[in-house]
Amino acid sequence: MHEMIIIGAGPAGISMAAEARGVGIPADKILILEKGDAHSWAIRKFYPASKPVLANYKGINAVCTGVMCLTDMTKEETLTYIDRVIEQCELQVHYKEAVTAIRPLAEGGFVVETSGGVYQTGRCIIAIGILDKPNKPEYRIPPTLTKRIHYDITTVALKDEDCLVVGGGDTAAEYCQFLVQQGNHVTLSYRRKEFARLNPVNLESLLALEAREQVTILRGSNITKMEDDGGRPRAVFQETEHPARTFDRIIYALGGTTPVNFLKVIGIEFDGEVPVLTQGYETSLPGLYLIGDLSAGKKGGSINLAFNMAAEAMRYICTCPLPAR
């Protein structure tokens, strides 16, 4: 019987376990379940090598309220920092173990079923991200273009290619910066005329790349169709001022989708497509919590925010004793 099972070994999940250790919960009473083969899957997959991980991501002040705190670091430094926390807190992480079901118990607590076993816990914290299921465009992409369409830039080395990045958030801007550094010719397609979601650092960097003609920005551009042009993707735009153009690669940075169905099957109440949360990010099921991107909404993606949410959840948990068994 665990006191706490945490689903997801990203920054939110690891910090939740660190907070639990900080209030005296023994390491052997805490279990982290991660379907990937390493912690911080989204950072590893979506962040290029040496990419700066900003403490004030999306303009959120880098004020830390818990045991973990991020300063401006590279991708590698951030992963090393989390490695160190796992080691120092003696955290128990089961990698390559996907959660298949979470069932509330009548007497309180939960049964968590996974690809590797069945566990029982007094509290369950869901700390999975949304980028595990990246958003895809509404228009059809020809199957023949699969190898030239990407949703991250870490799975294939791109150099000396004509790349189109689609999106207008920080990830899209950071992809542009990295692709330029690797010697690619980069175009950015953004559906709006002005950038509204970029943090100041990324906005300044992107505009500087545009001024140096290292990135071409197609403002107010909407792709309506993707065609196969001799094995290369050809983007067809809705706007007449943006003629159709063929690229070597298309990289989508359109955010991710909350796994709504998974949460609803557990029995969590929703208000439309948003889970209903109370104090400390507790759901409608007592003892079941959502932290990280799942409860951050449009502010999701800030690592320090994930750390702080874990701290807030733990402060509330400390006021709620486990049900007697």
Strand-pairing partners, residue 102, are 112
147, 198: one domain: yes
Same domain, 128 and 260: yes
Assign 170 a pLDDT band (cuts: 50, 70, 90).
confident
Q: Are residue 18 and residue 88 in the same domain, yes or no? A: yes
* Residues 12 and 46 placed together within one structural domain of the fold: yes
DSSP collapsed to 3 states, 225-250: EEEEECCEEEEEECCCCCCCEECCEE
Domain that holds residue 126: 2-132+256-317
Last residue of a domain, one of 252, 274, 295: 252
**Position 322 in a domain:** no
Q: What CATH number corresponds to the domain at position 166?
A: 3.50.50.60
pTM of structure = 0.69
Give a yes or no: residue 138 inside a domain.
no
Collapsing DSSP states into helix, strand and coil, what is residue 320? Answer: coil
Residues 126 and 248 in one domain: no
For 201-253, write each residue's pLDDT tens digit: 789 999 999 999 999 999 999 999 999 999 999 999 999 999 999 999 999 98
Distance of CA 284 to the CA centre of its chain: 24
Structural domain count of the chain: 2
Residue found under tokens 């991710």: 256
Q: Are residues 35 and 99 in the same domain?
A: yes
CA distance 33 to 286: 20
The backbone torsions φ and ψ at residue 96, rounded to the nearest 5 degrees and listed phi first, read: 55, 35
Residue 293 above 90 pLDDT?
no
Cα–Cα dist 164/189, whole Å: 7
Q: Which pLDDT score, from 0 to 100, does residue 296 have? A: 63
Residue 78 dihedral angles phi and psi, to the nearest 5°: -65, -45
pLDDT at 133 exceeding the cut of 90 = no
Strands 93-94 and 249-252: unpaired
CB 112 within 8 A of CB 102: yes
Domain-terminating residue out of 232, 252, 272: 252
